[in-house]
Amino acid sequence: MIENILPILFFIIAFIYSSAGLGGASSYTAIMAIMGISYQIIPTTSLALNIVVTFFGTINYWRNGYGKIKLVGPFLITSIPMAYIAGSLNLNELMFQTALLVTLILVVIRIYFFDTFTFSFQLSPIRKWIFIILLGSILGFSAGAIGIGGGIYLVPLIIIFGLGSEKEAAAAGATFIFMNSLVGFIARFKSGTFDLDFILPLICSVAIGGFLGSYYGSKKYDAKTIQKVMGGIIIIAIILLTQKIL
């Protein structure tokens, strides 16, 4: 039953999130946690799906001129090593669930309270680099440890701190997620936490959804409202995870 539902749900998620330069891992992870999928394969699965979705997003946004290596490059310098280190860790179920719970709570805050970008900050050069190093490290660790690529935080923060436009932020988010998901996936794949039969149908679904969503998103599509609907799924996952942990 689960195997039949997940490809459809993940197609929708990939379409919605890729339209904003995101991979959708927060919702993939939340849904798999709700449906009782083994915590050992959830991060690897989410990372693999992120890679597929943001591959198309990266191509479409860069092809339309929004990709800026000087914007995303500094974040990758610290995030990539952290993604690999975190992906090599063997978290027990309680540690994974706790880290996931905290991350999903932050995702909900991001979706419902930081979606309009009506305020901004200006950073001095030194503070800008401190911000980039810290944020890149934290998001890279998140990608490797629990399978959430971090773009859902990176995209709004780029806009809020005046580092790029919305489309440039989406392009940076897609590239950032792709690179960190790839590195985190390699680290986790080496540990053997990978179920090929489970993941193949999901990859096909998100590939189609990711291509279509990023194609429209890089041109004209705005998915903020629908992302708020997806936030409801994450809230359900937060409630269920809290009950499990307690």
Q: Can you give the residue range of the structural domain that contains 84?
A: 2-245
On the 0-12 / 13-18 / 19+ scale of CB atoms within 10 A, 118 is exposed
Q: Model confidence over 46-93: pLDDT tens digits? A: 999 999 988 988 888 898 888 999 999 999 999 999 999 988 888 888
Q: Would you say the C-alpha torsion 85, 91, 96, 98 has a positive or negative sign?
A: negative
Query: Rg of the chain's alpha carbons, rounded to an integer?
Result: 16
Alpha carbon distance 135, 171 (integer Å): 17
Q: Worst-scoring range by mean pLDDT, 21-30, 99-108, 219-228?
A: 219-228
Alpha carbon distance 9, 32 (integer Å): 11
Q: Do the Cβ atoms of 21 and 158 come closer than 8 Å?
A: no
Alpha carbon distance 16, 206 (integer Å): 11
Name the domain count of the chain.
Answer: 1
Q: Do the Cβ atoms of 150 and 180 come closer than 8 Å?
A: yes
Structure tokens, 28:
């993939």
Q: Model confidence over 66-78: pLDDT tens digits? A: 899 999 999 999 9
Alpha carbon distance 7, 206 (integer Å): 8
